[in-house]
Amino acid sequence: MKKMFIIVAVLFISFLISCGGGEKKADSNSTVSSGEPVTNTDNPSYDPIRGEGKFTDVAIAATLDQAMAIEGEKVYTVKCSSCHKLTDEKLVGPGFTGVTGRHTPEWVMNFATNPDPMINKDPKVQALLELCLVRMPNQNLTDDDARHVYEFLRKNDGVK
Ligand code: HEC
């Protein structure tokens, strides 16, 4: 009878230990994930296709709007060229070649006007930050500036 009691006690204790162990594992998992770069899974409200900002649905024609692209080049020269080349070569930030294929128009315009929250939340920007080691500062673009510079980036990517 005494032996039986010991066996039950041992089983009970090992059951307790295994539960405790399970909890500990869950704890250490959550510590690990909060130390990793924030991904979309951790931010269910963040939309990595659109980014975060005021632009939700930008109408883009199949052909280039030349007048907008000319205005956009001026914005680029004054506010972007110190950090972004028009080639695929990195300066302070990534080169602009192919940028309109890497992101939606909404994403580019939201990032250009509202970089801070996107740097904190967007997995693509976090990967760039690891390469560039500089957070892109807000360039205080107007909505039109953002639209025009986007058109210039399309021109740079070969849209006619
Ligand atoms: C002071 C330097 C600096 C200036 C000025 C700057 N950027 Fe950036 N930009 C960066 C850096 C650095 C990154 C990479 C993300 C990060 O680390 O914040 C970046 C990333 C980007 C990206 C994403 C690029 C990709 O390949 O996915 C876009 C789009 C962008 N910038 C647009 C602009 C536009 C438009 C302007 C001008 C209105 C501008 N940036 C001005 C530094 C700058």
- Within 13 A of 153's CA, how many CA atoms are on the CB side? 28
Q: What is the C-alpha to C-alpha distance for residues 93 and 96, in angstroms, rounded to an integer? A: 9
Decide whether any atom of ligand 1 lies within 6 Å of the 67 Cβ. no
pLDDT band at 44 (very low <50, low <70, confident <90, very high): confident
Ligand 1 center to 21 CA (angstroms): 46
pLDDT 10s digits, 79-98: 999 999 999 999 999 999 99
State both tokens at 45: 């409200």
Decide whether any atom of ligand 1 lies within 6 Å of the 83 Cβ. yes
17 has a pLDDT exceeding 70? no
Q: What is the C-alpha to C-alpha distance for residues 21 and 122, in angstroms, rounded to an integer? A: 34
